[in-house]
Amino acid sequence: MAKVFIDPGHNYSGADTGAAGFGLKEQDISVLVAQRLKPMLEKNGFSVRMSREKITDVVAGGLSASLSGRAQAANDWGADIFISIHCNAANTKAYGCETYCVSTGGNAGKLARLVQNHMPDETGRYDRGVKTANFAVLTRTSMPAILVETAFIDNYDDNKFLASSSGREKCAAAICKGVCEYFGVEYNSESEEELMSKEYDELKAKNDSQDKIINEIGVDIQSNKNDIDGIKNSLKRYDYVDENMPAWAVPTITKLVTKGFLKGDENGKLNLTEDQLRLYTVNDRAGLYGE
């Protein structure tokens, strides 16, 4: 499993903070892009570490310590490649994306070209190409290292792109595609939104299945309730010939009480069930009790 070290450029505070424009801060955007990139790389089978996991992280207070700390962390981990993520800034007029390496030859140059090839296609930003520079994070790392300038934070159009969730997603996808190509890995094209949609569909299907089971249980409960109500009704006692007794049973029971065939207990209660009422009524209609 190849090991990719992601370095979200700059710090939340201190000496090594980044550029700013239209309310955005480079140190924040670099982390937000990295947070998109990390799960993409992991989805494609890479082991990933980051110099800054969240926006408020600070690698080190001083500039030199901050830069060397990032490179040293990648070296200590034994990363296979190093990717530093930044936002550019110039004169508000410049725009587009570019990727830096120490030399265009070798593996670092290859990685830079592959990532940069995807950046303009994926993001729609102007292609400023691959450039060389002796940035500290590129010279102090012991593995192929690149620095990606995603867009110009002080250019209005580029800034709007960086400010959007979809824009940062596209930057991450472009870098991930370049990394996959560098290692000869087939890129898994599922975006975070697609993965979330798939998870939603799976969860919905599971909930629908559970709803079906719950509905079936509800039917069984209602059926059992009906059976219980039937049993309760069959066990209901009718003590007197009154409005509580079913109308169809009143003539027969009245006759039997009048003739003395039915007598209540010491309190005059007949204590008859519905089944008994039906039996007496059927016998009466058969003429067993006379006129």
| Residue 65 pLDDT > 80 | yes
- Per the listing, tokens 């939603």 go with 200
What's the pLDDT at 240?
83
Question: Cα 238 to chain center, whole Å?
Answer: 61
The Cα–Cα gap between 75 and 6 comes to 12
Query: Integer distance in angstroms from the first to the last C-alpha of the chain?
Result: 100
What rounded mean pLDDT belongs to the chain? 90
**Judgement on whether residues 86 and 181 belong to the same structural domain of the protein:** yes
Q: Side-chain half-sphere of 53: how many Cα atoms within 13 Å? A: 2
Helix (H) or strand (E) run with residue 139 in it: helix 136-139
Phi, psi of 64 (to 5 degrees): -60, -45
**Beta-strand pair 145-152/97-101:** antiparallel
Q: pLDDT tens digits, residue range 21-46?
A: 999 999 999 999 999 999 999 999 99
The Cα–Cα gap between 88 and 26 comes to 8
- Helix, strand or coil for residue 160? helix
- Which tokens go with 150? 């995603």
Residue 44 DSSP code: T
| Residue 136 pLDDT > 80 | yes
Least confident of 48-62, 155-169, 185-199: 185-199
Least confident of 63-72, 154-163, 188-197: 188-197
Beta bridge partners of 272: 238
Q: For residues 120-126, give the mean pLDDT.
A: 96
The residues that are catalytic are 149
Residue 223 lies in a domain: no
The domain in which residue 266 lies consists of 236-291
CATH code of residue 83:
3.40.630.40
- Which tokens go with 114? 């592959």
Least confident of 98-107, 119-128, 148-157, 231-240: 231-240
Q: Which of residues 189, 224, 254 is at a domain's end?
A: 189
CB of 17 closer than 8 Å to CB of 55: no
Q: pLDDT tens digits, residue range 209-243?
A: 777 777 777 777 777 777 776 666 666 888 888 88
Residue 157 lies in a domain: yes
Q: How confident is the model at residue 284 (pLDDT cuts 50, 70, 90)?
A: confident
pLDDT higher for 262 or 186? 186
What's the pLDDT at 241?
83
| Residue 66 pLDDT > 90 | yes
Residue 254 lies in a domain: yes
Q: Side-chain half-sphere of 233: how many Cα atoms within 13 Å? A: 10
Q: For residues 121-140, give the mean pLDDT.
A: 97
What's the pLDDT at 192?
54
What's the pLDDT at 230?
67
What's the pLDDT at 186?
93
Return the CA Rg of the chain: 40
Residue 230 lies in a domain: no
**Judgement on whether residues 29 and 150 belong to the same structural domain of the protein:** yes
Total number of domains constituting the chain? 2
Q: For residues 192-205, give the mean pLDDT.
A: 69
The Cα–Cα gap between 86 and 264 comes to 98
**Judgement on whether residues 163 and 271 belong to the same structural domain of the protein:** no
Closest CA to 141 of 187, 102, 182, 188: 102
Phi, psi of 36 (to 5 degrees): -80, -40
Residue 228 lies in a domain: no
Least confident of 67-81, 120-134, 185-199, 240-254: 185-199
